[in-house]
Homo-oligomer: A and B are copies of this chain.
C-alpha cells in the first residue's frame, strides 16, 4: 500500500495518531528500501511481522496473485489447497526458467526478486562468517550431494575427455554417490594418520597428479567439514596442486560455513590455489529444512555454467526458507549463533572429559576439527566386549540423535569402490570410537542430556558385563 492511502484515514481516526503511525510506517518502508538497495543483512534481525509483510508484498508481484488475471496457459501457478497457498505465501511458480535457474520469470516477478535478494544476503552472510574471497554464489534447490553432482555435470561440458574424479576419501555414502550419479568413475586418494587425526596425504596427491594424465580427471573433491578424528582436508595444498596440474577443484564444504575456521580454509585456498566451487548446505549451516545448497566461488565461471545447465524450473521453497532465516537473524543474530556454537563446542568437550575418564575412555586429540570430535570406546570394547554399534543403538533408543559409532575394521564396497575400515575414513584406525558434533544451534540441554545419557549407558553395559562375568565365575 502507498503511504498516501492513509491521508484519507484522518477523517476516521484521530489525526495525531495517524501521524505517528505513518511515521512508524515510513521507518519500516525505509528498512525495506535499505534492503532493496543495499542488499545486505540488516544489522538486527527483522521481526516476523516485518518479514511476513515483505513476503506478502513480494508474492503480490507474482501473476497468480494478480487481480483480474486471465490464465490460459498450461502452467499458471494455480493452487488448489488454501493450506498449501498459505504455507508458500501464495508463491507458486518456483524459481528459474527453461533458460537459466537464475533468470527472472515473466509470471513471477516477486519470486524472482526474492531469489536475487536472497543471493545477495547469502553472500553477505558468507563474508560475515569469514569466507571473504567469495564473490559469486548460486542458490540451488537441491541438497549438497545433488549440488555436487550438478557441478560435475557442468564440468563435463568443460572437460569432455575426463572420465573420473579424484576423491580424497571421506566415508559418507552421499559423497561417493554424487560422483557416480554424474557418470564418473571414482578414484580414491587414501588419507594418513597423524596422532589421533586422519589427515590429507598431500604427498600422495602430488604423486598421483604427477603420474597420471590430469585431463582424465573431471575434478578433485576435497572436504572441509567432516567427522573427527578425520580433520578437514588441507584444502590450501590441494588447491595449489590443482592449480599446478590444471585440474578443477570442488570443495565439499557441507556444514563448514558455520565454522569461521573452515571458511578461513576455503578462503585461503581460493586465494592461493585453484578452487572452482565450494558447495555447502543451507540446512546444516542456516538451520532451515533440508532442501537447498549453495555453490560459491571467487569467479563466476562454474556458477554461471551451473545455472545455465539446470534444465527448467525448480522449487523456490528452500530459498524462501533461507531468505526468512537470514532476515530474522540479521548480522548480530548470525554472529551470535557462530559465537555460541564455538563456545558450546568447548563446553561439550569439557563436560565429557571427566565422564570419559571415569569409564576409562578419552577424547581423541583432533585439534584441527572445529565442529566434530570423537571419544574412544576402546576400553568398553576390549575389557567389556561391547561393540560401538551397541552403544550407538542404546543412545538412539534414549533419544540421542547424531552420535555415530565406528568400529574401524569394516570393509565395505560402496558404488563399486572397496573401502577398508569403512566409516573411519582410513584402514586400520587404531581405536573404535563414537563421533559427536557441536553444530550450529546446539543447545545447553543437548549437551547436558547427552552427557548424562552416555554416562548412564557406559555404566549400564559395564555393570551388565561385570555381573555376567561374576555369574560365569561363580559357576
Partner of A145, one of B77, B177, B311, B317: B311
Interface 9-mer from A178-186, A192-200, A232-240, A421-429: A178-186
Give A73 Cβ to nearest chain B Cβ, in Å: 2
Bits for A271-288, please: 1 = Cβ < 8 Å to B, else 0: 000000000010110111
Q: In the complex, what residue of chain B is closest to A322 when comparing beta carbons?
A: B84
A133 to B443, CA, bound (A): 39
Give A225 Cβ to nearest chain B Cβ, in Å: 7
A267 to B183, CA, bound (A): 31
Bits for A378-413, please: 1 = Cβ < 8 Å to B, else 0: 000000000000000000110111111000000000
Partner of A174, one of B17, B98, B445: B98
**A401–B72 CB distance below 8 A:** yes
Query: Is A94 an interface residue, CB under 8 A from the partner?
Result: yes
| Between-chain CB contacts (< 8 Å), 7 pairs | A16-B106, A48-B85, A69-B400, A76-B441, A93-B290, A94-B289, A144-B312
With A1-B53, A49-B65, A142-B142 given, can you name 11 additional A-B contacts, CB distance below 8 Å?
A8-B33, A25-B60, A48-B83, A53-B56, A53-B60, A69-B399, A70-B400, A86-B86, A87-B87, A92-B283, A146-B311
Which residues of chain B have C-beta atoms less than 8 A from A5's C-beta? 29, 32-33, 36
Partner of A287, one of B32, B79, B439: B79
Report A242-265 residues with CB < 8 Å from chain B CB: 255
A366 to B372, CA, bound (A): 56
Bits for A46-73, please: 1 = Cβ < 8 Å to B, else 0: 0011111110110111110111111111
Query: Is A148 an interface residue, CB under 8 A from the partner?
Result: yes
Query: Is A462 an interface residue, CB under 8 A from the partner?
Result: no
A320 to B83, CA, bound (A): 11
**A66–B2 CB distance below 8 A:** no
Query: Is A107 an interface residue, CB under 8 A from the partner?
Result: yes
Query: Is A471 an interface residue, CB under 8 A from the partner?
Result: no
Report A129-161 residues with CB < 8 Å from chain B CB: 141-146, 148-149, 153, 156-157
Q: In the complex, what residue of chain B is closest to A12 when comparing beta carbons?
A: B116
Query: Is A105 an interface residue, CB under 8 A from the partner?
Result: yes
Bits for A439-468, please: 1 = Cβ < 8 Å to B, else 0: 111110111011001000000000000000
**B117–A12 CB distance below 8 A:** yes
Query: Is A347 an interface residue, CB under 8 A from the partner?
Result: no
**B75–A284 CB distance below 8 A:** yes
Q: In the complex, what residue of chain B is closest to A289 when comparing beta carbons?
A: B92
- Which 9 residue pairs across A and B have the least CB separation, nearest first? A73-B402, A291-B315, A145-B312, A94-B290, A145-B311, A98-B173, A70-B449, A178-B311, A174-B312
A110 to B225, CA, bound (A): 28
A439-B76 contact given A21-B61, A446-B71, CB 8 Å threshold: yes
**B439–A74 CB distance below 8 A:** yes
Report A299-356 residues with CB < 8 Å from chain B CB: 309-318, 321, 324-325, 328-329, 337, 348
A311-B174 contact given A37-B8, A79-B289, A80-B287, CB 8 Å threshold: yes
Which residues of chain B have C-beta atoms less than 8 A from A283's C-beta? 75, 77, 92, 94
Give A314 Cβ to nearest chain B Cβ, in Å: 6
**A315–B312 CB distance below 8 A:** no
**A74–B284 CB distance below 8 A:** yes
A309-B60 contact given A105-B17, A112-B17, CB 8 Å threshold: no
Which residues of chain B have C-beta atoms less than 8 A from A60's C-beta? 24-25, 28, 49, 53
Which residues of chain B have C-beta atoms less than 8 A from A90's C-beta? 49
A402-B76 contact given A21-B61, A146-B311, A283-B94, CB 8 Å threshold: yes
Give A469 Cβ to nearest chain B Cβ, in Å: 29
A207 to B223, CA, bound (A): 50
**B70–A450 CB distance below 8 A:** yes
Which residues of chain B have C-beta atoms less than 8 A from A9's C-beta? 36, 113
Q: In the complex, what residue of chain B is closest to A442 when comparing beta carbons?
A: B71
Q: In the complex, what residue of chain B is closest to A18 when comparing beta carbons?
A: B109
**A401–B69 CB distance below 8 A:** yes
**A91–B289 CB distance below 8 A:** yes
**A81–B325 CB distance below 8 A:** yes
Query: Is A13 an interface residue, CB under 8 A from the partner?
Result: yes
Report A20-48 residues with CB < 8 Å from chain B CB: 20-25, 27-29, 31-33, 36-37, 48
Which residues of chain B have C-beta atoms less than 8 A from A180's C-beta? 157, 309, 311
Query: Is A14 an interface residue, CB under 8 A from the partner?
Result: yes
A311 to B14, CA, bound (A): 20
